[in-house]
Amino acid sequence: MDPLSTTASVIAVLQLTSKIVQYLNSASGATKERKALRDELRACERVLEQLKDRCDEGDGDTEWNSSIKVLEGPDGPLGRLWVMLQKMEDRLQRRDGPAERLITAVKWPFIQKEVKEIFAAMDREKSLLTLALNGISGKLVQEIRRTVTQNREGLKILEGVDRIQASQSSVQEDLIRFQQSQEEKELNKERDAILEWLPTLAPSTQHRDIIDQRQPGTAQWIFKSPKFKTWLEVQGQTLFCPGIPGAGKTILAASVIEHLISRASDVSEIGVAFLFFSYQRQEEHKLNNIFGCLLNQLSASRPTPPESLLRLYKKHVKQKAQPSLAEILNSLHAVSAEYSRVFVVIDAVDEYQISSGQQRQFIEKIIEYQKKCNINLFVTSRFIPEIARFFEGGTSLEIRATQSDIQTYLENQMWQLPAFVQKDSELQKDIITEVSGAVQGMFLLAHLHLQSLRGKKSPKAVRNALEKLPTGSNAYDTAYGEVMERIDCQNDDQRELAKEILQWVTLATRPLTTSEIQHAIAIEIGEARFDTDNITEIHDMLSVCAGLVTVDEGSDIIRLVHYTAQEYFDRTSEKWFHNAQERILQVCITCLCYENVEYHPSESIYLDNGILDRGRTFYIYAARCWGLHARHLKTPHQSVLRFLRQRAKVKASFMALFLPVSSLMKTNRKILLQIQRPVTGLHLAVHFKLTSTVKMLLEENGPNLDTDSPFAINPDARDWWYSQTPLTWAAQAGQEEIVKILLSQPIVDPNSKDRINQTPLLVAAKGGFLGVVKILLSTKGIEPDVKDVDDQTPLAWAAAGGEDEVVQLLVSTPGVNVESRDWSNATPLTLAAFANHIKTMKILLSLPNVDPNSRDNNERTPLAWAANNGMRAAVELLLATPNVELSPKDKAGQTPAHLAARNGHQEIVEMLIVAIQGRKSIETDVRVQKPDHHA
């Protein structure tokens, strides 16, 4: 043992003892010996703790000092204990490794003789340490001498077994290394596949882009804040950071993330996940994608795929399906539990799904996650009372750019100003002083003010501008207005280019890449082919926009400089952009109708000439978004109607609309050859919910439809993917008006079946679209109980999804079988109980023909499935239902109580036991009260 001080020696032995106790807690086998050894070690720990306290006191007592010297002497108990504990640790470590698991099934590494000797040695050393505590140095010396031989004999026993094991280990070394290598390869392969399957949203790329924009030396104030330090150190804390627009919230959030990642790199048990919300990326930010992204980040930091995620992946990957939100959240909770600490940073929560109502749902879910998993949550937002209310229980820290940060930013940006400014240090000081004083803690306003000085021609002009810098609540609107006025003062070509760029960046339905916007601007409305000579360099595009747009280098996305710019143009677009939506629509339709873009069954739809560029081209945007722009027009545009009647163009756009970009750029001949069905422009109009366009297309067919005409549109045509008609498309999207229009066409079949035998009524019921279901049920000749390929009826699908109003309507419809059986022999009640849909269950249980004890192919009842899945409310409802069997056995002989216990649903097990006992008690009472007829 190293010649440490006595205190250090005691601490070292204490730490090693504690470590071995942890090993014993995680070991299996030899339960009795393991527990006894653990108790002996803990008793030794207590003596060592007392010894440490006595050493710390250092009272100078002569007898005590003599005892201390004996402890540190040759063959002292501390040294002997250290050697023995090291050998125990080595044995436990080797037995706990993956190689040992491969070679032998033995978990407990000590034979009985070894355990006996360890107990004896521990007892001897503990007695000697007690003598030292009592200050009996003479007796201590005698006992040490007496026990030296015994101690050495005990160590020989351990060493002998170690030599045998060492020889076995050398023989097995190659096999172990090979097995470990193979296991590691398989785990990495599986891990990569799982991470690719989960949503990503590319937060790391966004983080890199933001950090690249940060000025050196800024955004450091938060790390000195006591509130931040407390949040960092105390587990389970929430830090809500509101700030005014342009205060640098995103830069600061990125700095916090950088700090956390650096901290986590030194400690593997710290997990870090983050999200940057953006007003431009609303389509990507579905709840499943958001929480899937967090799950992806935390899973990526684990050496092996978490078991819960592995099960989820295997469940869905074969069907090429994505997990539900509930499944994602369950896996997220499980993965988070594998870390000692988890930090989650959410930036700009105010920019998330404001109009759809999902913002509230997201905040509720993230707070629920924070509480369940005791994570540390960092959230930034603008000052919005509705959002702030959610975080009232946590700590709040306002984000405001410090004066020094703004001055640092301005100093680093002086190179953007004219040469006469860069030569005049006094003028630079004036600019920094005036701008930093006017912006009131808003980085963005500093940027805009600086941009406003770029075109000045003299020091006097700069000083005059500094005197008129806008401040206060309307500063942004004033600043943006001044920028637009400067744009208007450019020559005609520059002005027109700037406004085209701004209207695209402002009104595009998703963020555009630089390549996409270059193509969009280059397209000449009405032309038959794309001219590559019309493409403008991205640098020239940025220069004419006077600082209002920027490019994120990592993602190559072109965007407005800030959310406040988007809000400004939302309010003032009619002033600056005349008929912008119509112009954007015409550009999209022109692109879709190019001569060199057309469907051919034997080759790619993309026939060069610059229209496509590695999947980032404008054609894909045009195919997927033209209809969203068309909705803004009051009447259908003639160019749209012409496009929808060109079958080859429609088929080409149809592929770009529905196939993944990777499939489009590496076109699969097999997929292409499937597109022989007459995909129509009507399908596309229905997809984009263009009611007026649908009506006009059908009116143009005339009273006598000629389906052979190249310009006619068959209202009952089927698509190439699922063999669905426009009516099915409209029904599954809940488009009531379009459903009515289509049903008015004599040729339309209200009971048309797609590739999996699903009818318009079934898909409407499945989606919970009550209005569409009512329309279809009132249609002459409708079949309300048709089964799909899985033998599920509209009622079965509605029950499985908990669509209560649809269920109520269907069970009151003549011809609907409330006890229909699907492929697994499950009834609608079983499907509802499986998913805990209580209102649906109540509707079904109120019907006289519904059997509460119906059995599926596994002989499981609704109660069995509810218990198996841990559905407490469903179990309660079924237990309160008359004549429900409490202990029906399935094919494997398992009762509901067995199923609940197997899956860890203890509360449900107790509910079932109480119900069973209660029923037995009632039956006993009935027997006692029954009169004796033989008396």
| pLDDT tens-digit series, residues 893-906 | 999 999 999 888 99
Report which residue type is found at 790: D
Three-state DSSP class for residue 424: coil
Domain containing residue 514: CATH number: 1.10.10
Q: How far apart are CA 896 and CA 738, in angstroms?
A: 47
Same domain for 449 and 533: no
**By mean pLDDT, which of 51-55, 383-387, 773-777, 897-901 is the weakest?**
51-55
Query: SS3 helix, strand, coil % of the chain, rounded to 5?
Result: 60, 5, 35
Question: Which pairing describes strands 512-513 and 549-552: parallel, antiparallel, or unpaired?
Answer: unpaired
Report which residue type is found at 857: N
**By mean pLDDT, which of 148-157, 626-635, 655-664, 665-674 is the weakest?**
665-674
Q: Is residue 309 part of a domain?
A: yes
Give the helix ranges, DSSP H, for 198-306. Answer: 203-213, 226-233, 249-266, 287-300
Please choose, from the candidates 20, 34, 27, 14, the residue with its C-alpha nearest in 3D space to the C-alpha of residue 78: 14
Instruction: Count the neighbouring beta carbons within 10 Å of the beta carbon of residue 213.
Output: 13
Report which residue type is found at 754: D
Q: How many helices (H) and strands (E) does the chain have?
A: 45, 8
Residue 347 dihedral angles phi and psi, to the nearest 5°: -100, 140
Three-state DSSP class for residue 73: coil
Same domain for 611 and 516: no
Place of tokens 């008793």: 43
Q: Is residue 33 part of a domain?
A: yes
Evaluate if residue 173 carries a pLDDT over 80: no
Three-state DSSP class for residue 272: strand
Q: How far apart are CA 606 and CA 18, in angstroms?
A: 68
Evaluate if residue 99 carries a pLDDT over 80: no
Residue-wise pLDDT tens digits, 666-675: 444 444 444 4
DSSP assignment letter at 548? S
Instruction: Count the neighbouring beta carbons within 10 Å of the beta carbon of residue 555.
Output: 15
Place of tokens 């003598």: 131
Q: Is residue 744 part of a domain?
A: no
Q: How far apart are CA 518 and CA 523, in angstroms?
A: 9
The parent domain of residue 557 ranges over: 489-578
Evaluate if residue 766 carries a pLDDT over 50: yes
Q: How far apart are CA 312 and CA 193, in angstroms?
A: 13
Domain containing residue 230: CATH number: 3.40.50.300
Give the helix ranges, DSSP H, for 73-225. Answer: 77-95, 98-103, 112-133, 137-197, 203-213
Long-range contacts from 300-306, C-beta under 8 angstroms, 24+ separation: 300/195, 301/264, 301/268, 301/271, 301/272, 302/335, 302/338, 303/187, 304/187, 304/191, 305/187, 305/190, 305/191, 305/194, 306/331, 306/334, 306/335, 306/338
pLDDT category of residue 304 using cuts at 50, 70 and 90 = confident
Q: How far apart are CA 335 and CA 198, in angstroms?
A: 14
Residue-wise pLDDT tens digits, 409-459: 888 888 888 899 888 889 999 999 988 888 777 777 888 888 888 878 899
* Distances in whole angstroms, Cα of residue 855 to Cα of each of 210, 555, 825, 861, 862: 58, 54, 7, 5, 8
Mean pLDDT of 873-891: 95
Which of 721, 751, 774 delimits the end of a domain? 721
Q: How far apart are CA 761 and CA 765, in angstroms?
A: 6
Q: How far apart are CA 122 and CA 108, in angstroms?
A: 19
Mean pLDDT of 558-587: 90
Three-state DSSP class for residue 606: strand
The pair of three-digit structure tokens given for residue 480, joined into one six-digit string: 């943006």
Residue 224 dihedral angles phi and psi, to the nearest 5°: -95, -5
Same domain for 16 and 156: yes
Q: How far apart are CA 40 and CA 58, in angstroms?
A: 28
pLDDT of residue 172: 45
Say what the pTM is.
0.64
Q: How far apart are the first and last CA of the chain?
A: 91
Q: How far apart are CA 151 and CA 498, in angstroms?
A: 88
| Angle CA 521–527–532, to nearest 5 | 50
pLDDT of residue 693: 96
Same domain for 168 and 36: yes
**More confident site: 847 or 20:** 847
Question: 299 and 308 in contact (C-beta within 8 Å)?
Answer: no
Residue 673 dihedral angles phi and psi, to the nearest 5°: -70, -20
Same domain for 273 and 132: no
Q: How far apart are CA 627 and CA 322, in angstroms?
A: 26
Question: 231 and 222 in contact (C-beta within 8 Å)?
Answer: no
Give the helix ranges, DSSP H, for 593-725. Answer: 618-630, 638-644, 647-658, 661-665, 669-674, 681-687, 691-701
Three-state DSSP class for residue 379: strand
Q: Is residue 891 part of a domain?
A: no
DSSP assignment letter at 537? P
Same domain for 495 and 373: no
Mean pLDDT of 700-708: 66
pLDDT of residue 822: 94
Give the helix ranges, DSSP H, for 468-613. Answer: 475-488, 492-507, 514-522, 538-544, 563-576, 580-592
pLDDT of residue 2: 42
Same domain for 716 and 625: yes
| Angle CA 186–187–192, to nearest 5 | 100
Which of 191, 213, 242 delimits the end of a domain? 191
DSSP assignment letter at 215? P
The pair of three-digit structure tokens given for residue 613, joined into one six-digit string: 């560029």
Which of 660, 695, 721 delimits the end of a domain? 721
Return the sign of the alpha-carbon dihedral for residues 690, 693, 698, 701. negative
Same domain for 447 and 312: no
Q: Is residue 642 part of a domain?
A: yes
Instruction: Count the neighbouring beta carbons within 10 Å of the beta carbon of residue 25.
Output: 10
pLDDT of residue 105: 36
Cβ neighbours of residue 348 closer than 8 Å, sequence gap 6 or more: 249, 250, 253, 276, 277, 278, 380, 381, 563
Question: Which pairing describes strands 270-276 and 238-242: parallel, antiparallel, or unpaired?
Answer: unpaired
Cβ neighbours of residue 722 closer than 8 Å, sequence gap 6 or more: 754, 755, 756
Question: 265 and 422 in contact (C-beta within 8 Å)?
Answer: no
pLDDT category of residue 106 using cuts at 50, 70 and 90 = very low
Question: Which pairing describes strands 395-396 and 512-513: parallel, antiparallel, or unpaired?
Answer: unpaired
Q: Is residue 923 part of a domain?
A: no
Mean pLDDT of 63-87: 69
Same domain for 564 and 611: no
Q: How far apart are CA 82 and CA 78, in angstroms?
A: 6
DSSP assignment letter at 370? H
Same domain for 627 and 535: no
**Percent of the chain with pLDDT strictly greater than 90:** 40
How many domains, in total, are found in the chain? 5
Mean pLDDT of 366-370: 92
Report which residue type is found at 38: R
Same domain for 205 and 175: no
Please choose, from the candidates 867, 925, 932, the residue with its C-alpha nearest in 3D space to the C-alpha of residue 894: 867
Q: How far apart are CA 553 and CA 309, in angstroms?
A: 33
Evaluate if residue 305 carries a pLDDT over 50: yes
pLDDT of residue 181: 58
Same domain for 370 and 268: yes
Evaluate if residue 200 carries a pLDDT over 60: yes
Return the sign of the alpha-carbon dihedral for residues 88, 90, 94, 96. positive
Instruction: Count the neighbouring beta carbons within 10 Å of the beta carbon of residue 537.
Output: 10
Q: Is residue 27 part of a domain?
A: yes
| Angle CA 558–559–564, to nearest 5 | 170
Burial 593-608 (b: 16+ CB within 10 A, else e): bbeebbbeeeebbbee
Q: What is the mean pLDDT of the chain?
A: 82
Most confident of 319-328, 456-465, 854-863, 915-924: 854-863
pLDDT category of residue 318 using cuts at 50, 70 and 90 = low
The pair of three-digit structure tokens given for residue 806, joined into one six-digit string: 């649809």
pLDDT of residue 573: 87
Q: Is residue 409 part of a domain?
A: no
**By mean pLDDT, which of 172-181, 194-203, 404-413, 443-452 is the weakest?**
172-181
pLDDT of residue 5: 59
Q: How far apart are CA 518 and CA 616, in angstroms?
A: 11
Using left for φ > 0, alpha for ψ between -120 and 50, and beta otherwise, residue 547 falls in: left
